[in-house]
Chain A
């Protein structure tokens, strides 16, 4: 039943990170010109009072349309979505996004684990999870869930990360498909449309 809900030409790249991940994103996003067959979702730890800054900063660095995430917005390929501050970002089966203000997970809201697990349930093998720099354990359980559902797991090479704790923790507790530096992560994303 659930298999029917997977849309073969819609895949999702979900990127999580904490301290040091913004720099990594700034080295990836400006080099993407167009994404046709997939959507990019960014879940990074941010201050609860930061309402727009991150969205504006990322929108400046990419020519891809950054869609503001509001409750139940349609989720479509070709766009970048950013988890808003002070909400957990969840994925509904009907191709919309929803939000949740429940307890912080890993001291974080948005939590990377929450969004990764939710995306894995819906997008299964069409999902790629990428975990970047950070100094918190968030993201590891999420990557495990992605792997369990048949998705692809990529972890930033801790040597190339400003804060290696988060990728290291994930490497020790999962079996990643790839451990890549920033340049290689960019190459991977560029290859999806081909």
Chain B
């Protein structure tokens, strides 16, 4: 197990050698993640770990991929998707063209969930879904639209709880333990690497999703990222966060209006 002071050393060295700044990450979670990879890879001396990270760029990449949390689900929090289905899509549907951004999309489960909703609402053909993450490995996986077959029971329950009426299994082909989602869902997806900590706005969107990413950041960085979203969001566009996250401390009151109990805010000016 590594000590607090060692974690700070690692943060500083990573910044110095690779320019990546973990300094604004929440420490409790970051320390757990670093300890996890430290133990998984069989290190017993911090100095060995540190020099491996320093001098082996491949190992550094592997470490970053393992530190960032990549756990995600399809239709996580079904009530959230019900609100999108019933209240938001009818509004977005009046636009000639719909631009969406999934920031920190990980392996893409939420991106495919959203594509299903858009398809069912007859809006997918005029949508463009940008999906970004800092982790190139998960983006490659997301592009393929392949998820573990064992998860499909839970996902189809979530889908039904969110108001889905179709046969969920019609959206994928099952094969040797995997579920490959239909290609037509991916047609309007664009995947690319983007770092919320250091990169800037790259387009204007009608809806931005960033669910359970900000929990890994400290208040200062949360504020910066939410302002990046604000810069990237059209007036009357929507921002969706995780069920335990808020924009309350980051944005001037009155600029956004929250939808009921869901963590969805509409930019009103």
- Binding between chains A and B: yes
A residues contacting B by CB (< 8 A) are 1-2, 49, 51, 69-72, 84, 86-87, 90-93, 98-103, 114, 118, 121-122
Interface residues of B in 52-89 (CB under 8 A from A): 69, 71-72, 76-79
Tell whether A70 pairs with B161 under 8 Å between CB atoms, given A92-B28, A101-B212, A102-B32. Answer: no
B residues contacting A by CB (< 8 A) are 4-5, 26-29, 32-33, 69, 71-72, 76-79, 161, 212, 214-216, 218-219, 242-246
On whether the beta carbons of B28 and A98 are closer than 8 Å, the reply is yes
On whether the beta carbons of A102 and B28 are closer than 8 Å, the reply is no
The listed residue (B33, B78, B161, B245) touching A71 by CB distance below 8 A is B245
On whether the beta carbons of B69 and A102 are closer than 8 Å, the reply is yes
On whether the beta carbons of B32 and A114 are closer than 8 Å, the reply is yes
> Bound complex: CA of A99 vs CA of B246, how far in Å?
13
B260 to chain A, nearest CB (A): 13
Tell whether A118 pairs with B32 under 8 Å between CB atoms, given A71-B214, A98-B215, A101-B212. Answer: yes
On whether the beta carbons of A101 and B69 are closer than 8 Å, the reply is yes
On whether the beta carbons of B215 and A92 are closer than 8 Å, the reply is no
The listed residue (A1, A2, A87, A93) touching B27 by CB distance below 8 A is A93
A148 to chain B, nearest CB (A): 10
A-side contacts of B244, CB under 8 Å: 69-71, 84, 87, 99
Residue of B29, B216, B218, B244 most packed against chain A (CB within 10 A): B244
Tell whether A102 pairs with B29 under 8 Å between CB atoms, given A51-B243, A70-B244, A84-B244. Answer: yes
On whether the beta carbons of B28 and A70 are closer than 8 Å, the reply is no
Tell whether A102 pairs with B71 under 8 Å between CB atoms, given A90-B28, A92-B28. Answer: yes
On whether the beta carbons of A118 and B28 are closer than 8 Å, the reply is yes
> Bound complex: CA of A17 vs CA of B192, how far in Å?
42
Question: Which residue of chain B has its CB nearest to the CB of A103?
Answer: B71
A-B contact pairs, 11 of them (CB 8 A): A51-B79, A70-B245, A71-B245, A72-B218, A72-B219, A90-B29, A98-B28, A100-B216, A101-B69, A101-B71, A101-B212
> Bound complex: CA of A72 vs CA of B247, how far in Å?
12
Add 16 more A-B contacts to A49-B161, A70-B244 (CB < 8 A): A1-B5, A51-B79, A70-B246, A72-B218, A72-B219, A91-B28, A92-B26, A92-B27, A92-B28, A93-B27, A100-B29, A100-B69, A100-B216, A102-B29, A118-B28, A122-B28
B262 to chain A, nearest CB (A): 11
A-side contacts of B26, CB under 8 Å: 72, 90, 92, 98
Tell whether A98 pairs with B245 under 8 Å between CB atoms, given A49-B161, A71-B214. Answer: no
Residue of B4, B29, B69, B78 most packed against chain A (CB within 10 A): B29
On whether the beta carbons of B215 and A100 are closer than 8 Å, the reply is yes
B-side contacts of A69, CB under 8 Å: 244
B-side contacts of A99, CB under 8 Å: 215, 244
The listed residue (A2, A90, A102) touching B4 by CB distance below 8 A is A2
> Bound complex: CA of A1 vs CA of B5, how far in Å?
10
Across the A-B interface, give the 6 residue pairs with the lowest CB-CB distance, nearest first.
A90-B28, A100-B29, A102-B69, A71-B215, A70-B244, A98-B26
A185 to chain B, nearest CB (A): 27
> Bound complex: CA of A121 vs CA of B4, how far in Å?
10
